[in-house]
Amino acid sequence: MVRLPKVTLLILLAGAVIVIGFFQPSQPVVLAQQPTGSVPTVTGTPEGPTVKVDPFNQLVRVYAGPSSFDYPAIGVLLANETAPALGRARDRVEWIQIYYPGVPGSIGWVYGPYVGLSPGAFLPLIDIPPTPTPFSTPTINPTLEAVFIGQQTPTRLPTFTPPAAPLEVPSFAEPSATGNPGVPAGLIILSLGLFGFFGAVISYLRGR
In a domain, 157, yes or no: no
Segments forming the whole domain that contains residue 60: 50-122
**Residue 181 lies inside a defined structural domain of this protein:** no
Read off the pLDDT of residues 86-108 as tens digits, 9 standing for 90 and up: 999 999 999 999 999 999 899 99
Does 202 reside within a domain? no
200 inside domain: no
**21, part of any domain:** no
Residue 177: inside a domain: no
- The helix or strand, by DSSP H or E, that contains position 197, with its residue range, turns out to be helix 185-207
Number of domains composing the chain: 1
**115 occurs within a structural domain:** yes
pLDDT tens digits, 104-149: 899 999 999 999 999 888 899 999 988 877 655 667 776 766 666 6
Question: Measuring CA to CA, which residue among 13, 30, 32 is closest to residue 21?
Answer: 13
Residues, the chain:
208
The CATH number covering residue 62 comes to 2.30.30.40
Given a cut of 70, is residue 6 above it in pLDDT?
no
Give pLDDT, residue 120: 85
Of 121, 136, 31, the closest CA to residue 83 belongs to 121
| 108 close to 85: Cβ distance less than 8 angstroms | no
Residue range 191-195: mean pLDDT, rounded = 84
b/e per residue 79-88 (b: at least 16 CB within 10 A): eeeebebbbb
Residue 206 covered by a domain: no
